[in-house]
């Protein structure tokens, strides 16, 4: 969770309890990433201690199996990092700054902060949906999307895939527009279910058309929540991989299809349980 923590000049809010209640709820619900945070504010540290005591997330050896937060910190001794992990529930994403001699004080001062940027880039690679899909699908991959009502149903997804992931999306209004020469080597076909009371669904027609190709791309159905379980069973029997009913579900299905493990992390790591130094590291490993 990104949350600007303003620790000063909050006397009125603190006295009313609004600030404290909000921070307790946020710290107990979300995994925090602390950036530019010194951990010297006694009030916030007290709130964090309350939440940690409430969570009581220690294993039988007294260790915390999963951190409750992460912090990008520079120039911290190993003993300090260990203390944060074992007693504060904070896993330190560490980097060393470059040092330069200050001619006025004759002391070394930090001047280089590229390690901070390296950590942000590494975190984005693992937690940004667009970056993860880009890594899985590859540049200029083609996705075929079948739906007669693209403007009403799919504009958000089309824009995201084209502009943020960078894939080429072929919009088709009808399964009869599927063409072996143009679409056989697409990485994925997304189709609406297209129920038809007088005959086969649009999904069935699409899969039937592609059977003539020999090899075909995998197919995912993107549809509404009405009759979703029934339609999912039908879609599976017809040969589709899965049915998604919202954008989050669709992106999850795509990630699972193309192998989230290839990004060195489980499918839930970035979105549910956070990340760790074992799965995320900057381009230059920081000691």
- pLDDT tens figures, 131-143: 888 888 887 899 9
Q: Do 95 and 163 belong together in one domain? A: no
Q: Does the pLDDT of residue 224 top 70, yes or no? A: yes
pLDDT at position 62 is 60
Query: How many structural domains comprise the chain?
Result: 2
Residues 96 and 145 in one domain: no
Whether residue 253 sits in one domain with residue 147: yes
Q: Could you tell me what percent of the chain has a pLDDT over 90?
A: 29
Tell me the pLDDT tens digit for each residue of 29-75: 888 888 887 787 777 777 777 777 776 655 566 665 677 788 998 88
* For range 99-122, the mean pLDDT: 81
Q: Do 140 and 227 lie in a common domain?
A: yes
- CA–CA separation, 110 and 103 (whole Å): 13
Task: Using the predicted structure, report yes or no on whether residue 1 has a pLDDT greater than 70.
Answer: no
Find the CATH number of the domain harbouring 209.
3.40.50.2300
- State whether 85 and 135 are in the same domain: no
Residue 262, pLDDT > 50, answer no
The answer to the question of residue 2 being in a domain is: no
Residue 117 resides in a domain: no
In this prediction, residues 85-91 reach a mean pLDDT of: 83
Segment 266-286 mean pLDDT: 45
DSSP string, the chain: -------SS-HHHHHHTHHHHHHHHHHHHS-EEEES--S--HHHHHHHHHHHHHH----TTS--SS-SEEEEEES--HHHHHHIIIII-EEEEEEPPEEEEETTTTEEEEEE-HHHHHHHHHHHHHH-HHHHHHHHH-TT-EEEEE-TTHHHHTHHHHHIIIIII--EEEEESSGGG--HHHHTT-SEEEE-----TTS--HHHHHHHHHHTTSS---EEEE--STTHHHHHHHHHHHT-SEEE-SHHHHHHHHHHHH-GGGGTS-TTTTTTS---TTT---SS---
Q: What is the pLDDT of residue 46?
A: 79
Q: How far apart are CA 261 and CA 241, in angstroms?
A: 18
- Domain closes at, from 90, 105, 120: 105
Are 163 and 243 part of one and the same domain?
yes
**Domain span at 151:** 131-263
In a domain, 113, yes or no: no
Co-location of 223 and 137 in the same domain = yes
Assess if residue 166 is contained within a domain.
yes
What is the band of 117 on the pLDDT scale with cuts at 50, 70, 90? confident
Query: Are 82 and 147 part of one and the same domain?
Result: no
Q: What is the percent of the chain with per-residue pLDDT over 70, rounded to a whole number?
A: 80
120 occurs within a structural domain? no
Pairing of strands 98-102, 107-112: antiparallel
Higher pLDDT, 231 or 43: 231
Higher pLDDT, 85 or 48: 85
Whether residue 271 is contained in a domain is answered as: no
Answer yes or no: do 156 and 227 share one domain. Answer: yes
135 in the same domain as 190 = yes
126-185 pLDDT per residue, tens: 788 888 888 888 878 999 999 999 888 888 889 999 998 999 999 999 999 999 999 999
Token readout for 211 is 């059977």
Residues 150 and 215 in one domain: yes
What is the pairing mode between strands 242-244 and 219-222? parallel
Is pTM beyond 0.75? Reply is: no
Residues 58 and 101 in one domain: yes
Query: Is residue 21 one of the residues assigned to a domain?
Result: yes
Nearest Cα neighbor of 133 from 158, 157, 164, 159 is 164
User: What's the token pair of residue 53?
Assistant: 């005591």
Q: Is residue 203 part of a domain?
A: yes
């Amino acid at each position: 969770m990104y949350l600007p923590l303003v620790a000063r000049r909050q006397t009125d809010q603190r006295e009313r309890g609004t600030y404290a209640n909000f921070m307790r709820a946020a710290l107990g619900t979300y995994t925090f990433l602390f950036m530019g945070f010194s951990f010297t504010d006694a009030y916030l540290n007290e709130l964090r201690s309350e939440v940690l005591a409430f969570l009581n997330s220690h294993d039988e050896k007294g260790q915390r199996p999963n951190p409750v937060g992460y912090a990008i910190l520079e120039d911290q001794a190993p003993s300090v990092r260990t203390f944060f992990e074992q007693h504060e529930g904070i896993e330190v994403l560490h980097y060393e700054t470059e040092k330069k001699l200050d001619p006025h004080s004759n002391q070394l001062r930090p001047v280089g902060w590229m390690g901070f940027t390296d950590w942000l880039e590494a975190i984005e690679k693992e937690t940004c949906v667009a970056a993860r899909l880009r890594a899985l699908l590859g540049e200029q991959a083609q996705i075929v999307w079948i739906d007669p009502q693209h403007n009403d149903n799919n504009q958000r997804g089309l824009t995201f895939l084209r502009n943020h992931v960078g894939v080429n999306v072929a919009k088709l209004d009808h399964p009869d527009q599927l063409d072996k020469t143009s679409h056989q080597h697409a990485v994925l076909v997304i189709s609406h279910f297209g129920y038809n009371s007088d005959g086969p669904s649009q999904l069935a027609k699409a899969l039937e058309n592609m059977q003539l190709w020999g090899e075909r791309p995998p197919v995912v159905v993107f549809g509404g929540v009405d009759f979703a379980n029934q339609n999912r069973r039908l879609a599976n029997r017809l040969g589709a991989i899965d049915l998604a009913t919202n954008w989050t579900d669709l992106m999850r299905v795509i990630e699972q299809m193309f192998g989230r493990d290839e990004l060195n992390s489980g499918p839930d790591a970035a979105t549910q349980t956070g990340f760790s130094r074992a799965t995320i590291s900057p381009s230059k490993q920081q000691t």
